[in-house]
Amino acid sequence: MLANSMLSFLVAFLIAVVIGPIVILLSKKFKASQTILEYVEGHKIKQGTPTMGGFIFVISISICTIIFCGVESFLAKLSIIIMLAFCILGFMDDFIKIKFKQNEGLKPYQKIVSQFAIASIVAFFCYYSPFVGSSILLPFSFGSIDLGIWIIPFVILFFIAVTNSVNLIDGLDGLSGSVSLAFLMGIGALVFVCSPYAASLQISNLALLCIFASGALLGYLCFNIYPAKIFMGDTGSLALGGLIAGVCVFLKMEIFLVIIGIMYVLTAISDIIQVLYYKKTKKRVFLMAPLHHHFEKKGINENKITFIYFVITLIIAGGMILLCMW
């Protein structure tokens, strides 16, 4: 299994590296460039950078699923379908931004309704499926708690929260990609090393998906680390959020995301606090939200912010693995 994981990681990386220049070329040809928010002062130089780079890792992950996920990989393949559904939603959002040369694509209610629809289908599948069911795992002990019918609203809210959090953290070069790489590597390793039910082919294929998705993200980061040659756009961030949410739900590891994916959580919370506090007092808690922009305003280089977010996620994932093994 270790050899297969390493091979899939390498293949996913190489596919992303090979198709990266092609995606960049096509983005430039069709003038699919990112419109930068004017109030992010340091980002004005990024105006015109190609977007929809999420296709780089989406294509790589999809190809590797076909190659490496063989028998009893229904949940892994369903995770890819979910990723592609969110990718289409993100593409529509990016297309509107590009066509009308502004930073607002789909209306917020259109995004939420679409996310709710996809999440609802997944939630009902989980409740009625013998592969998933209504229980979720508890961290450290790998014990579980059965939510019964409440698993349906829980999964819906989880999907909406995760996809929007991953979308929010996509604000600096390499930030969303590097944090997600560390998160997926951590989840995949945690299942292989610690989970008592990793012997199931359905589960091991999901863990394998996490590993080669990390390889695809590493290949994508070759083009996205500062200065970015291409942005993932909502095409990538929503697809990535959908993949992460889907994998966590099918692994019953939703609570694990709150711990290992703490940077997603802090990003979302900082944005919520800023909006609510400003509406009430017309004052700001942070210099700018989400949190990574606050650090930028403090004068911290975006490379350093990206590196710190990545390291924090990696350390927490490693710590979780060690604690579960112990």
Residue 38: domain span: 2-325
Distance CA(9)–CA(212), nearest Å, equals: 4
Distance CA(246)–CA(244), nearest Å, equals: 5
Domain tally for the chain? Answer: 1
Q: Is 280 exposed, middle or buried (0-12, 13-18, 19+ CB in 10 A)?
A: exposed
CB 92 within 8 Å of CB 238: no
Beta strands in the chain (DSSP E): 135-137, 144-146
Mean confidence (pLDDT) of the chain: 92
**Range in 29-43, 190-204, 217-231 with the lowest mean pLDDT:** 29-43
Distance CA(98)–CA(235), nearest Å, equals: 12
CB 264 within 8 Å of CB 257: yes
pTM over 0.85: yes
Q: What is the pLDDT of residue 99?
A: 85
- Mean pLDDT value across residues 259-277: 97
- Mean pLDDT value across residues 261-274: 97
